[in-house]
Structure 1
Amino acid sequence: MKQKKINSKFLILEKKNKLKFVNTILPKPKKNQLLVKILYTSICASQIMEYKGLRGYDKWLPHAFGHEAVGIIVSIGKNIKKFKVKQKIILSWIRKKGSEVSGKIMYGKKNHFNYGPITTFSSYTLVSQNSAFPIPKNIKIKSASLFGCAIPTGMGMVLNEAKPKKKNRCAIIGFGGVGVFVLFALKFLKITNITVIDTNDNKLRIAKYYGIKNLINPKKNKKIYGNFDFIFESTGQSKSIENSIKLLKNSGKIFFASHPAKNQKINLDPHELIKGKKIYGSWGGKSNLRRDIPRFNKILSNMKINIDKFCSYHSFDKIIDLIKNFNNSNNTRSIIKM
């Protein structure tokens, strides 16, 4: 059946620190590709890294971006067997095995932009089928985009990787989109000795709302008593990772899922490691999304977590301002309604 013309509005990154809206007609999806109407997407620190050019040379400019969303399938390419038109899905950079489809899209008379296996800052998009996941029946569509990055990374670090015990002393450094879901995973495990560290007092107030009494703003309190069993770090700052290892007990472990800038190194005193401390980098919380989206959704539903308490919702037209002012945000995640 012939596909009707789909006109989509994209936010593209033209070059470092320069964003632009463009409108274009989307081509038909390729083999192993889906054409999806985006319902909601969210802004992650990874997109801020791209915007500021902190990942080094970007050979794909100009390009579309964004990597977590919820949407509905409009049409499908060849070789698609597990999805159907009108099905609602979650889109994520944490992909399954399979073919990854990229390409370029023309706009205007001679202009084009590139796109990868997943981009979400647009009203419609083309994505590889291995970036798409079915939605559990009882999930809230309004906040479902968070299952594409923040939720599996934060909860996965705790439940898939660290697996702390009830009596362990834990710290969360960086209380953004990942950090808040680290907290919920720790609370699910009945861990009560939790410290939240962030330089934003408004984010610390969110942690307080969820029952955390040990709250530290390092800009105001330079002395932090350590001796933690586990530290979960997600600030994106190399210096923070370096300081974190000093706060561990000798048998302690730090898991970090942040994105320090290209060429930034982590400087560690080797004696910290000799004493028995361990440091781990986390890739999406080691999450398998076919298993973990339903699993994490069930946990959050049973805990009666209201995501609206710590997220904010905005129109697509506001996304450029939100990206430019990302570091000044007082909530843990900005969600865009398309």
Structure 2
Amino acid sequence: MDIKTAKAAILVESGKPLIVDEFTLPDTLEHGQVLAHVHTSSICGAQINEIDAVKGVDKFLPHLLGHEALATIVETGPGVVSCKQGDTVVMHWRPGKGIQSNTPAYSWRGKRLNAGWVTTFNEYAVVSENRVTPVPATIDRTSAPLLGCAVTTALGVVNNDAQIAIGEAVVVFGVGGVGLNIVQFAAMVGAWPVIAIDRLDNKLAMAKDFGATHTINSEAVKDVAAEVRAITGVDGPDKVVETTGVKNLIELAYEITAKKGRCILVGVPREKAEIYTLPLHFEKVLKGSEGGQCQPARDIPRLVRLSDAGKVSYRGIVTHEFALDNVNDALDLMRSGTSGRILLNIS
């Protein structure tokens, strides 16, 4: 490959700031790999969890990060047919069309630099073919990265996990990048009411713009469950989606779900929740979501068409932009919980 080195934000030690430095790319692409020039990447809460080693000791340090971005294909390896040089693509973590290749053989300061099938906090990335989906070259570079995770996850949660139907009462805990889109799609399929719950008024105002019929500031009321039932009636909401991963909110989300309703957990928990399981024997459903079980090769083109037709909007979800060199400032802002989705301008 002509590209020998590139800049990246590297996780060297769990819980510590990322190091922005040059790393070395492999000499050639293997079967099923593509070389992507990354333009913009959004930050997902999954990266915060990865940095903090929420799932346990990180055995792959040092390694690269990121899984939703807009890029251009620079080169394709043997066997690649779903994209070609010059294509504009969305990079995503859920597998799409094409080959799942080996992970790339990067190096940094004389040792192996680990990476998965897709990383996006780097100027150039060797990516598995099935982690990129072509999109129109005219796509908005600010909102396009969200199609790699936040928007596709939300679509999948609404369609596949929660299975929201016309007229159902819906509650969404946490209206960040994923939560706002869940609100948007729930409203789009005819849910009513659509209740957004968050601790920040600015996020609740955004939720209103995206279709929430009611909002509740969880820190401004004494009894969130009572507030919800005052809107939905004593039976509670048909569908509840919890996006924060906060223990007490997971428990509350499950508690307020209607007897035969569905409670969907999207946020990754940092500690164990306590759930009374008897209602599960009487048709209440509690389900964890893995990216909404979305299919990027199918869902991303659908979402592009919806956006082009003016049926949905993704732009307002991105509230801040940072250069790659300032990635740690971006992460600090995201940890504060006061932002929407944050965009990194990579190259």
TM range (shorter): over 0.9
Residue correspondences, number: 333
Correspondence for 1:21: 20
Alignment equivalent of 1:326, drawn from 313, 331, 334? 334
2:33, 2:119 → 1: CA distance? 12
1:140-192 CA-to-partner distances (Å, cap 9, x unmatched) read 23211111100111111112332322211110111011111101111211223
Equivalences for residues 49-198 of structure 1 within 5 A: 49-96=49-96, 98-108=99-109, 110-136=110-136, 139-198=139-198
Alignment equivalent of 1:244, drawn from 237, 253, 260? 253
Partner AA of 2:108 in structure 1: Y
Correspondence for 2:232: none
Alignment equivalent of 1:11, drawn from 9, 12, 27? 9
Residues 252 and 277, structure 1, Cα contact 8 Å, conserved in 2:
yes
Measure how far apart 1:306 and its partner are: 4.1
2:323, 2:137 → 1: CA distance? 26
2:195, 2:169 → 1: CA distance? 8
Q: State the secondary structure of the residue aligned to 2:192.
A: coil
Correspondence for 1:209: 209
* Identical-pair percentage: 28
1:298, 1:331 → 2: CA distance? 27
Correspondence for 1:256: 265
1:86-131 CA-to-partner distances (Å, cap 9, x unmatched) read 11111111013743421442233x2442111111101111111111
CA RMSD, Structure 1 to Structure 2 (Å): 1.9
Structure 2 alignment gaps of length 5 or more = 230-235
Q: State the secondary structure of the residue aligned to 2:12.
A: strand
Moved more, 197-206 or 131-140: 131-140
2:139, 2:159 → 1: CA distance? 20
1:285, 1:5 → 2: CA distance? 35
Partner AA of 1:327 in structure 2: R
Q: Measured at CA, do residues 106 and 274 of structure 1 come closer, stay the same or move farther in structure 2, by a change above 3 Å?
A: closer
1:196-244 CA-to-partner distances (Å, cap 9, x unmatched) read 0011221111112335342112112131234000011110223311111
1:12, 1:168 → 2: CA distance? 44
Structure 1 alignment gaps of length 5 or more = none
Q: State the secondary structure of the residue aligned to 1:249.
A: coil
Query: Does the alignment pair 1:317 with 2:325?
Result: yes
Measure how far apart 1:136 and its partner are: 4.3
1:152, 1:53 → 2: CA distance? 25
Query: Does the alignment pair 1:282 with 2:283?
Result: no
Q: Measured at CA, do residues 36 and 298 of structure 1 come closer, stay the same or move farther in structure 2, by a change above 3 Å?
A: same
Residues 306 and 312, structure 2, Cα contact 8 Å, conserved in 1:
no
1:69, 1:112 → 2: CA distance? 24
Measure how far apart 1:43 and its partner are: 0.4
1:84, 1:296 → 2: CA distance? 22
Partner AA of 2:178 in structure 1: V
Q: State the secondary structure of the residue aligned to 2:344.
A: strand
Residues 246 and 272, structure 1, Cα contact 8 Å, conserved in 2:
no
Query: Does the alignment pair 1:272 with 2:270?
Result: no
2:194, 2:32 → 1: CA distance? 44
Partner AA of 1:250 in structure 2: K
Q: Name the structure where strand makes up a greater proportion of residues.
A: 1
Q: Normalization by structure 1: what TM-score?
A: 0.92
1:257-308 CA-to-partner distances (Å, cap 9, x unmatched) read 11113xx323211233244321111111121111111112223343454433
Q: Measured at CA, do residues 211 and 186 of structure 1 come closer, stay the same or move farther in structure 2, by a change above 3 Å?
A: closer
Residues 7 and 22, structure 2, Cα contact 8 Å, conserved in 1:
yes
